[in-house]
C-alpha cells in the first residue's frame, strides 16, 4: 500500500502501542488455544468413568473462554486502537481493502497495512469467531455433559459443532503465523510486540516491495 493510501487516522492507530493488557490477552489466547487443540483428542474419554483427558481439556477450554470474554470486553470498551469498530471488516471500505490485499498476494506482494487493517483484519475476525464458537460450544458441554454417558440429542449436535471448530483452529493459526513469518522475512517484525518489545523494521521493508524481492534481500 502506498503512502497516499494511509490515512492520518490509520497512521495514529499503527503508532499506538497495543498495551500490556491487550498483549497478555493475545498471549493467553495463543497458548490456551494451542493447548485446547492439542488436548482435544484426549477428551474422548468422557464416556468412561475415569476421564482425566476430558477433565484436562475442559478446564483448559474454560480458561480459554475466560480470555475470549476479556478480548470481547476489550474490543467493545477498550482503547480505541483495539476496538472492533476500528478494524472488523464490516464496512464497504474495509472489504475493499481486503480485496486489494488478496489481489496483491496473487501478484506476490505482501499487504502493507496498519495493524488489523485489510486482510489481517479479516483473518483476526475469523480467528476470534472460531475461538468464540469453541468457547460457547465447549462451555455448553462443560455444564451439560455427564461423564460416563454418551452425548445425545442437542448435546450431541453441539459436540459435533465443537469438533468442527477443532479443525478451524489450526487453519487460523497457520494463516496468522504464516503472515507474521512473511512480514518478518520482509523486514517488519510484528512478533516483537507480543514479547513487550518495540516493533522494528529493517531498511529493506519497503511498501512496494514484492515477496520475492524481500526474500532475496534477506538472504
pLDDT at 12: 52
What is the widest separation between alpha-carbon atoms in the chain? 64
Q: Which domain holds residue 141?
A: 3-218
How many domains does the chain fold into?
1
pLDDT at 3: 37
pLDDT 10s digits, 110-124: 787 877 889 989 999
pLDDT 10s digits, 79-108: 888 899 988 998 999 999 999 999 988 888
pLDDT at 204: 56
DSSP letters for 88-129: SS-SHHHHHHHHHHHHHHHTT-----STT-THHHHHHHHHHH
pLDDT less than 50: residues of the chain: 1-6, 206-210, 212-219
pTM: predicted TM-score of the whole model, two decimal places = 0.76
pLDDT at 14: 52
pLDDT at 1: 39
pLDDT at 161: 92
Amino acid at each position: 500500500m502506498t503512502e497516499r493510501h494511509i490515512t492520518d487516522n490509520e497512521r495514529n492507530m499503527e503508532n499506538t502501542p497495543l498495551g500490556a493488557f491487550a498483549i497478555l490477552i493475545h498471549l493467553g489466547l495463543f497458548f490456551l488455544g494451542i493447548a485446547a487443540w492439542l488436548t482435544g483428542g484426549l477428551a474422548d474419554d468422557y464416556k468412561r468413568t475415569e476421564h482425566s483427558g476430558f477433565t484436562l481439556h475442559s478446564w483448559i477450554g474454560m480458561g480459554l473462554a475466560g480470555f475470549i470474554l476479556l478480548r470481547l470486553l476489550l474490543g467493545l470498551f477498550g482503547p480505541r486502537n483495539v476496538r472492533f469498530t476500528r478494524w472488523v471488516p464490516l464496512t464497504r471500505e474495509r472489504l475493499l481493502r481486503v480485496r486489494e490485499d488478496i489481489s496483491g498476494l496473487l501478484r506476490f506482494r505482501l499487504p502493507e497495512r496498519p495493524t488489523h487493517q485489510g486482510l489481517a483484519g479479516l483473518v483476526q475476525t475469523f480467528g476470534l469467531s472460531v475461538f468464540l464458537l469453541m468457547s460457547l460450544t465447549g462451555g455448553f458441554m462443560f455444564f451439560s455433559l455427564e461423564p460416563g454417558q454418551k452425548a445425545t440429542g442437542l448435546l450431541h449436535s453441539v459436540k459435533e459443532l465443537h469438533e468442527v471448530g477443532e479443525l478451524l483452529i489450526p487453519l487460523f493459526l497457520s494463516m496468522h503465523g504464516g503472515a507474521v513469518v512473511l512480514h518478518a522475512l520482509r523486514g517488519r517484525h510484528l512478533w516483537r510486540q507480543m514479547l513487550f518489545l518495540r516493533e522494528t523494521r529493517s531498511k529493506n521493508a519497503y511498501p512496494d516491495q514484492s515477496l520475492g524481492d524481500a526474500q532475496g534481500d534477506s538472504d
